[in-house]
Amino acid sequence: MEEIKVNKRGFFWLFNKYWFTIKGLNEKTVNPDPFLQFDQWFKDAIKTGIPFHEAMTLSTISPEGRPSSRVVLLKEFDGNGFVFYTNYDSRKSKEIDQSGFAALSFFWADLNRQLRIEGMVERVLEDQADRYHQSRPRGSQLGAWASPQSQEIPDREYLEKKANEIKLKFNNNKVPRPPNWGGYRVIPDRIEFWQARADRLHDRIVYSKIKEGGWKIFRIAP
Ligand SMILES: Cc1cc2nc3c(=O)[nH]c(=O)nc-3n(C[C@H](O)[C@H](O)[C@H](O)COP(=O)(O)O)c2cc1C
């Protein structure tokens, strides 16, 4: 039998974990708008105190059809899509720019929930990226200049030397956004909400974008 441990997240955590598993998810009663349904689940994850609730796995594909995944943080979302920030010269960015597509997934263990998002990707506007960059701690702003993300470097000293040079260069001045750093928006055409249920008879509710507008909502087998 599963050992039930009440961790520091306390009663609310335990209640949610089992309440949602009993309640399940129904294609007839989910929000007709997948972004609002996402918003509800995201709020549940925050309320439950899930560490790194905004961490999501981003999968991209190379021109040869070779997939790769890594974790990034969801920084903004609305009815247009899901935004994360990164280095535009990184491996993920090259793959996104080449294929135009990406997939995201969340796993919120404390809620027995998984979310899968797929769609086309676009870069966010420069203004939006500037605003987000300026909202970051100074250390992160400097780090974005210092790190040639995904490129081979000789050793750690190389990175630390570069970080020091950048620090001296900007001194006490405002740190502008590096031109090769910004955001991507994943614009979903398919979102799947997965809720664990008893006996592996999980609920899987899919929203699939209809060309003419709106979403087809249906259930798939676990
Ligand atoms: C919890 C967590 C959050 C992360 N958030 C970001 C992020 O928001 N943006 C980013 O570029 N990398 C982030 N990373 C690092 C990436 O996982 C990855 O190492 C990096 O982006 C380089 O990936 P690439 O070489 O495939 O482009 C995060 C890693 C972890 C573990």
* Chain segment 53-96, per-residue pLDDT in tens: 999 999 999 999 999 999 999 999 999 999 999 999 999 999 99
Nearest CA to ligand 1 atom 22: 150
Other CB atoms within a 10 A radius of the CB of residue 116 amount to: 19
Q: Decide if 200 is catalytic.
A: yes
Candidate of 56, 73, 105, 152 to mutate for ligand 1, largest count of ligand atoms within 8 Å of Cβ: 73
Q: What sign results for the dihedral spanned by CA atoms 148, 138, 43, 6?
A: positive
Nearest CA to ligand 1 atom 4: 72
pLDDT at 7 > cutoff 50: no
Are residues 54 and 38 in contact, defined by beta-carbon separation less than 8 angstroms?
A: no
For the purposes of burial, counting CB atoms within 10 Å of the CB of 117, is it exposed (0-12), middle (13-18) or buried (19 or more)? buried
C-alpha distances out from residue 218 to 101, 112, 160, Å: 23, 20, 51
Please give the domain boundaries of the chain with CATH numbers for all domains.
10-130+186-219 (2.30.110.10)
In whole angstroms, give the CA distance from residue 174 to residue 68: 35
What percentage of the chain exceeds 90 in pLDDT?
88
In whole angstroms, give the CA distance from residue 63 to residue 90: 15
pLDDT at 158 > cutoff 90: yes
pLDDT at 11 (0 to 100):
66
All residues at 6 or more sequence positions from 185 whose CB lies less than 8 Å from its CB, including other chains: 80, 81, 82, 83, 121, 122, 123, 124
pLDDT at 5 > cutoff 90: no
Q: What are phi and psi of 115, to 5 degrees?
A: -130, 135
- What's the whole-number mean pLDDT along residues 8-36? 84
pLDDT at 62 (0 to 100):
98
Give me the chain's average pLDDT, please: 93
- Taking phi first (over 0 means left), then psi (-120 to 50 degrees means alpha), and beta for anything else, what does residue 170 get? alpha
What percentage of the chain exceeds 70 in pLDDT?
94
pLDDT at 118 (0 to 100):
98
Per annotation, catalytic residue among 113, 138, 200, 219: 200
pLDDT category at 19 given cuts 50, 70, 90 is confident
Nearest CA to ligand 1 atom 14: 72
